[in-house]
Amino acid sequence: MLHRHFLIHKPYGYLSQFIGEAKKKKLGEFHNFPEGIMAIGRLDEDSEGLLLLTTDGRVSELIRSKKIEKEYYAQVDGLIDDESLARMRTGVEIGIHNVRYQTSPCTAFRLDPAPAFAPRSRKIRDDRHGPTSWVSITLTEGKFRQVRKMTAAVGFPTLRLVRVRVGAIHLGAMQPGEVVEMNSLEG
């Protein structure tokens, strides 16, 4: 069987799925994907960025493993400080479905200047609400809403979250809703 693989820049407000709740926006609106397509990992409805899709369950398992890094850019409320970044790098305690969990060490640093993403379909907030800053966080684990919970745990709630890299695959200049078919997702 010939497997097919795709990259999509998942826009804000879409679910990382193809079927489900009728009133929700889903990925199938962007492309006529083949039968058996699945998202590798998920981005919640409020998150954006690189999402890998495949018809190959073996590739999906490999990419979801702790062997593959996932990098996120998060716009946070306030001007994040070095101490908070250091706490995230060594791991912070977050709640996952009413269970306390210590995150694994990760890479976290401030992004300056801020990344130049296309404006989001729904405005985040006005400047009158105070300053924001951007951070890069690279994980090898992927707990439920982990990046959002990590930034909140150090006092800087996430306002916008964009996955920019999975392993060696980068979002690059892809625009929201853009779909690219790939020969392979490995390597």
- Give catalytic residues, as residue numbers: 44
Do residues 90 and 105 make contact, with C-beta atoms less than 8 angstroms apart?
yes
Residue the block writes with tokens 């404006």: 119
Which residue type is seen at 130? G
170 alpha-carbon distance from chain centroid: 12
Measured over the CA atoms of residue 15, residue 88, residue 66 and residue 59, the dihedral's sign is positive
- Residue 121 and residue 12: Cα distance in Å, rounded? 7
Do residues 129 and 33 make contact, with C-beta atoms less than 8 angstroms apart?
no
125 burial (CB, 10 Å; 0-12 / 13-18 / 19+) is exposed
176: left (phi over 0), alpha (psi -120 to 50) or beta: beta
Residue the block writes with tokens 């990344």: 115
